């Protein structure tokens, strides 16, 4: 004798998951639109290194004493 009615908790979880998925899809769509508007260029906040950070850093291990 199984109950075929869905649990209220399960339906609430599914509803919440659906809302999160929809919000994520909206966010991704808005980001895709912004990237397309910029011509698909670099979308990160840091666009280039400045000063000494441009050159490759070298690390040397101390030897001896």
Cα 55 to Cα 13, 46, 52: the distances in Å are 51, 16, 6
Do residues 43 and 35 lie in contact, with contact meaning Cβ atoms separated by under 8 Å? yes
Enumerate helices (H) and strands (E) in the chain, giving the number of each: 1, 0
Q: Where are the beta strands (DSSP E) in 1-65?
A: none
Q: Where are the domains of the chain?
A: 9-33
pTM: 0.45
User: CA–CA separation, 44 vs 48, rounded Å?
Assistant: 10
Give the torsion sign (CA, 5, 11, 14, 19).
positive
Q: For 19-61, what is each residue's pLDDT tens digit? A: 999 999 999 988 888 777 766 665 566 666 665 555 666 777 8
């Amino acid at each position: 004798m199984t109950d075929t009615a869905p649990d209220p908790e399960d339906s609430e979880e599914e509803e919440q998951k659906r809302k999160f998925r929809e919000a994520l899809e909206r966010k991704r769509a808005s980001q895709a639109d912004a990237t397309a508007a910029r011509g698909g260029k670099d979308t990160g906040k840091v666009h280039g290194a400045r000063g000494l950070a441009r050159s490759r850093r070298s690390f040397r291990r101390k030897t001896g004493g």
